[in-house]
Structure 1
Amino acid sequence: MTTLPRRVLALYLLLGFSAGLPFYMFNAVLLLRLSRHGVDIVTIGFFAWIALLPTFKFAWAPLLERWGVPGFDAFWGRRRGWIMLAQLGITASMVAMAFTADDSSLPLTALFATLLAFWTTTLEVAADGWRIELAPTAEGQGPLVAANLWGYRSAMVAAGSGAVLVAAWADWTAAYLVIAVAAFVPFPVLAAMRGEPDAPIGRLPALIGGLLASAAILLASAAVAALTGAGLLRAATAAGIGAGSNITPVVLAVCLLPFVALALALPRIRRLPRDADERMNGWIAPYVELFWRHGYRVLVLLAFVSVYRMGDVLALTLSHPLWNDRGYSLAQIGVADGVVSLLASMAGVALGGWAAARLRLGLALLLGAIVAGLANFGFVWQTWQPPAGWVLYLVAAADQFGNGMAGAVFVVFLSLQVSAKYPAAQYAFLSGFAFLLPRLLAGASGAISQSIGYDGFFALAGGVTLAAVLFLPFLHTGRQVE
């Protein structure tokens, strides 16, 4: 059994913390903020599409495999260099969101939230690649994933709770500034760490060079995001998409496109020689190798990963608008997102990490799906109850426990599907694809809930999660990275 040093576990606790802090700020907290400002439920659903960005991280993950951040890379190495740049991007994006917290310009709100999602995802890509290199077995991944998710989910819950409570006591600007300061804390910790043994330059020159390069990269990424967003907004307006549009059929059709495209490409990929990826462009080689190695079984794999966490994503999208519509105060929601969710989430992660390391992985996946699916039905029960603090806290605890358990097992499963040659890029693709369909549907969640009600929506979320168990007999659940 692989035993990792405690300092490695502590490091991944820290990395999980730095990635988890911003997640709620462009997701649940932002949706609650929009709801409090009177934005309609369909438009709030559209904002859930910002969380689609992490599903496309495979598009820029190869950059992190091949290049480093100028300055930072020379002293701290490629992985830590990208993590430091990402933390600067996270902090800058949250400060920008703080000073546009009145949501008087929804396109501007969407721009800064998108940048926050981008840099948060970049941090995760760098950390995931490093994690898989450090521990290529399920026995090693179990405790490492648990440590990472403890940090991630505790920071995510603490950020959600802290932001809501600060907003209740002050305003949304103060809430985002507080979390921005907290998100920056890991940067000086990493900057104070020992450099690479063969570092060609010293700490101070590397820090100055890295900060200058980071400023240029952050400005360039903001400009690209603004231009892209303006183009998409014009296209949506020209297509007649708005708050009154029924986009659910369109979204369902789009969800099928990746499977159709891959099914058409697989015959050609399977005819390639075993070492074809080694002669290809580094951008596509990781994905060709993944599809070639898994063969037609990759369609089952992608279908499974697409539905396993779907219920969690859908529930997260409308849980806070539900609570707001049910009349719960910001203080009550803050408590639910705080100590209640934190303790439940950490317990779920611990159980999931233990199950992934000790049980057959297929059995661990089965247990995770059942627990998470049943937790989704807690929201259905909540819609039938009069507003009461204990109802809110019970539902929040069950949801976070199920998310934590299923999430820990799922991360281990995905980590064992990648090749040791391309761990970061392939993990980025699988983990991103896992949330592509759920987040596409999340964007239509407002329209869906208008049609079938909150209770029907959350029943759908729980049912989809439970349906994931139908794929388990057809999956490879080995214990070693191939």
Structure 2
Amino acid sequence: MHSAEKRSWGEAFVAFIHPRVITMLFLGLSAGIPILLIFSTLSIWLREAGVDRSTVTYFSWAALGYSFKFVWAPLIDRLPFPILHGLLGRRRSWLIIAQCCIIAAILWMGLTDPAENLTMMAFAAVALGFASATQDIVIDAYRIEAADADLQAMMSSAYIGGYRIGMIVAGAGALTIAGLFEAEGTYQHFAWTVAYGCMALAMCVGVITTLLVREPDAPKAESKYFHETSDYVRFLLMFAVTVIAFITANSYAGGLTDPLKAALTDGGMIKELSGFIAGTLKLGISVAVAILVAWLTTRVGLTPTGMVQETYISPVKDFIDRYGKTAIIILALIGVYRIADIVMGVMANVFYTDLGYTKEDIAFISKTFGLFMTIGGSFLGGLLSVRYGVVKILFLGALLSAITNILFAFMAQLGPNTEMFIVVIMADNLSGGLATAAFIAYLSGLTNISFTAMQYAIFSSIMTLFPKILAGFSGTVVDAVGYSWFFVGTAVIGIPVLWLVVLAGRLTEVKDTVRTETDPA
């Protein structure tokens, strides 16, 4: 595989201060703020408002847009936003719209009291999830198009660093602000309104960055179908009808899959596996209905077949045409690269608690100290990728991710030991940040500039799908074999990843994604 050629340490360090790299630090912060406002920060708010635990967990579904963003990513690639497209360009116009929608959704959440109107809060959270996922689509496309392959590792490192800083702002920052405006032990909606208002204000960092940077000079493939306003309206109508069909089918499919789940569970199958089978079938039915409706809209002339093919089929066909049979190896690598990290990570907080660590220990060592280690690891990954090439660091990241899981097994044998906890968190988060930076740079190099948003959205969805499915059985495995053997097992399943990295490196060549010059922001 071809990646950036080996460079001197001086050249590697200079990449840190490249204008495009600095830009990604601020855009990463903009991307990192919304996620916790849907998850942990919102969960604490809802509990304070008296919402029961089962209902609180349902709000995590508001972030499903992150997993299915490849569905509307092609629209971002193909459809110019009226008026703003001419003023800001293709990427910046969509980015500013997404950021404004995020700010509006955050303010909507802040002004809604979940104790009085939980349904409205749910709508606001879903709106935030959708707008945030859209911002991610555009930022990923912008990052790939804004600089050549030599800078992609540092661009991804800066993005990860900014993203983690954004999480600190939306996590510890929002909770601190809310705490300043309410008496301990009492719930006051005003305190959370102020906290979320400050988060909306923090999003202005991303808005200002978007307005100041230049639109990437990436060539856009000419479309055979999208020329008139009516073409865009017809395509959007088809998309809306298909989405409605998917949601409707998903709602009614439960009538078929729920009895199946109950029957499998009653037959002796563990509930996690029966739930997975029923859920997969439910998703399959919904997707099949959506595809059928999309096909029917083309048959009746609502949308020309060529439009659908150019938007959804061509990006996939392009990837297969470029890599041939090797595409299977690449997709397998993408699908399992983070498997050791994700499967272990699901049980991490439960493990710390079961081992006897206090909430304060976990908050400081795992969340705060660990977060800074991840940021350090991401920049180290970018630096080493520029110095030695992406593939070598991709291999190193996978190796370290597996090895550090063994440290958790030792930790399980020692019991609560603060010094060991610090060492393990430092090693785990440094290796995780390093591996993620190299992996994002690798994925960026796989995309074709004509289908940047769509192809990267597919890659980013695939990379967490299988590991998250497998992670759902983590609790069952721990109950069966204990923590030590569980962590050893997560290290073992990471070994095949090393072979896939070597194989993909030999069989593929990732070309420069956009340009050869390094222009200023």
TM-score range, shorter chain: 0.7 to 0.9
**Structure 1 residue 64, shift from structure 2 partner:** 0.9
Kept in 1: contact 2:356–2:416 (CA 8 A):
yes
Q: Secondary structure at the match of 1:70?
A: coil
Specify the alignment match of 2:204 in structure 1. Answer: 185
**Structure 1 residue 349, shift from structure 2 partner:** 0.9
Kept in 2: contact 1:246–1:447 (CA 8 A):
no
Deviations 1:401-450 (A, max 9, x none): 12210001101111111223322221221122111212333455555555
Specify the alignment match of 2:24 in structure 1. Answer: 12
CA spacing shift, 1:107–1:297, aligned 2, 3 Å: farther
The amino acid that maps onto 2:365 is A
**Structure 1 residue 120, shift from structure 2 partner:** 2.4
**Structure 1 residue 281, shift from structure 2 partner:** 2.0
Q: Which residues of structure 1 form unaligned runs of 5+?
A: 198-216, 262-276
Deviations 1:325-369 (A, max 9, x none): 556555444323554123311221122112222224332111101
What pairs up with 1:448-463 in 2 under 5 angstroms? 449=478, 457-463=486-492
The amino acid that maps onto 2:200 is V
How many equivalent pairs are there? 439
Give the Cα–Cα distance (whole angstroms) in 2 for the partners of residues 179 and 466 of structure 1: 44
The amino acid that maps onto 1:130 is Y
Give the Cα–Cα distance (whole angstroms) in 1 for the partners of residues 66 and 454 of structure 2: 13
Q: What percent identity do the matched residue pairs reach?
A: 27
The amino acid that maps onto 1:180 is M
Specify the alignment match of 1:293 in structure 2. Answer: 322
1:248 aligns with 2:266: no
CA spacing shift, 1:151–1:68, aligned 2, 3 Å: same
CA spacing shift, 1:81–1:313, aligned 2, 3 Å: farther
Specify the alignment match of 1:481 in structure 2. Answer: 512
**Structure 1 residue 49, shift from structure 2 partner:** 6.7
Counterpart pick for 2:444 among 415, 426, 445? 415
Higher alpha-carbon deviation: 115-124 or 402-411: 115-124
Give the Cα–Cα distance (whole angstroms) in 2 for the partners of residues 32 and 377 of structure 1: 33
Kept in 2: contact 1:347–1:401 (CA 8 A):
yes
Give the Cα–Cα distance (whole angstroms) in 2 for the partners of residues 381 and 158 of structure 1: 33
Deviations 1:101-147 (A, max 9, x none): 9799998877655544433222121112122222232x221222222
Q: Secondary structure at the match of 2:317?
A: helix
Specify the alignment match of 1:125 in structure 2. Answer: 137
CA spacing shift, 1:428–1:409, aligned 2, 3 Å: same
Specify the alignment match of 2:257 in structure 1. Answer: 239
Kept in 2: contact 1:376–1:458 (CA 8 A):
yes
Specify the alignment match of 1:312 in structure 2. Answer: 341
Counterpart pick for 1:135 among 130, 133, 147? 147
Kept in 1: contact 2:397–2:435 (CA 8 A):
yes
Specify the alignment match of 1:144 in structure 2. Answer: 155
The amino acid that maps onto 1:247 is E
Give the Cα–Cα distance (whole angstroms) in 2 for the partners of residues 88 and 288 of structure 1: 34
The amino acid that maps onto 1:82 is W
Higher alpha-carbon deviation: 318-327 or 471-480: 318-327
Specify the alignment match of 2:74 in structure 1. Answer: 62
**Structure 1 residue 157, shift from structure 2 partner:** 4.3
Q: Secondary structure at the match of 1:284?
A: helix
Kept in 2: contact 1:55–1:432 (CA 8 A):
yes
The amino acid that maps onto 1:480 is K
Give the Cα–Cα distance (whole angstroms) in 1 for the partners of residues 60 and 482 of structure 2: 18
CA spacing shift, 1:450–1:123, aligned 2, 3 Å: farther
Give the Cα–Cα distance (whole angstroms) in 2 for the partners of residues 322 and 100 of structure 1: 35
Give the Cα–Cα distance (whole angstroms) in 2 for the partners of residues 255 and 474 of structure 1: 31
The amino acid that maps onto 2:394 is L
Q: Which residues of structure 2 form unaligned runs of 5+?
A: 6-10, 217-235, 288-305, 514-521
Higher alpha-carbon deviation: 341-350 or 50-59: 50-59
CA spacing shift, 1:246–1:341, aligned 2, 3 Å: same
Deviations 1:24-79 (A, max 9, x none): 44456667889998847xx96x8777665434322211111112333543422221
Give the Cα–Cα distance (whole angstroms) in 2 for the partners of residues 225 and 321 of structure 1: 37
Q: Secondary structure at the match of 1:247?
A: helix
Q: Secondary structure at the match of 1:480?
A: coil
What pairs up with 1:97-246 in 2 under 5 angstroms? 113-137=125-149, 139-163=150-174, 177=196, 180-181=199-200, 183-190=202-209, 193=212, 232=250, 235-236=253-254, 239-240=257-258, 246=271
Specify the alignment match of 1:212 in structure 2. Answer: none
CA spacing shift, 1:85–1:452, aligned 2, 3 Å: farther
Report the aligned-residue RMSD: 4.6
CA spacing shift, 1:326–1:29, aligned 2, 3 Å: farther
**Structure 1 residue 237, shift from structure 2 partner:** 6.8
Give the Cα–Cα distance (whole angstroms) in 2 for the partners of residues 443 and 101 of structure 1: 32
CA spacing shift, 1:31–1:478, aligned 2, 3 Å: farther
What pairs up with 1:22-61 in 2 under 5 angstroms? 22-27=34-39, 39=53, 53-61=65-73
**Structure 1 residue 386, shift from structure 2 partner:** 4.4
Specify the alignment match of 2:518 in structure 1. Answer: none
Specify the alignment match of 1:342 in structure 2. Answer: 371
The amino acid that maps onto 1:478 is E
CA spacing shift, 1:21–1:281, aligned 2, 3 Å: same
What pairs up with 1:353-368 in 2 under 5 angstroms? 353-368=382-397
Give the Cα–Cα distance (whole angstroms) in 1 for the partners of residues 343 and 86 of structure 2: 42
Kept in 2: contact 1:168–1:330 (CA 8 A):
no
Specify the alignment match of 1:206 in structure 2. Answer: none
Give the Cα–Cα distance (whole angstroms) in 2 for the partners of residues 103 and 449 of structure 1: 37
Give the Cα–Cα distance (whole angstroms) in 1 for the partners of residues 18 and 431 of structure 2: 27
Give the Cα–Cα distance (whole angstroms) in 2 for the partners of residues 339 and 153 of structure 1: 10
CA spacing shift, 1:302–1:191, aligned 2, 3 Å: closer
**Structure 1 residue 249, shift from structure 2 partner:** 5.7
Give the Cα–Cα distance (whole angstroms) in 2 for the partners of residues 195 and 363 of structure 1: 32
Give TM-score, length-normalised by structure 1.
0.73
Larger radius of gyration: 2
**Structure 1 residue 459, shift from structure 2 partner:** 4.3
Higher alpha-carbon deviation: 456-465 or 146-155: 456-465
Q: Secondary structure at the match of 1:475?
A: helix
Give the Cα–Cα distance (whole angstroms) in 2 for the partners of residues 34 and 294 of structure 1: 48
Specify the alignment match of 1:79 in structure 2. Answer: 91
Kept in 2: contact 1:376–1:462 (CA 8 A):
yes
The amino acid that maps onto 1:143 is M
Give the Cα–Cα distance (whole angstroms) in 1 for the partners of residues 244 and 310 of structure 2: 29
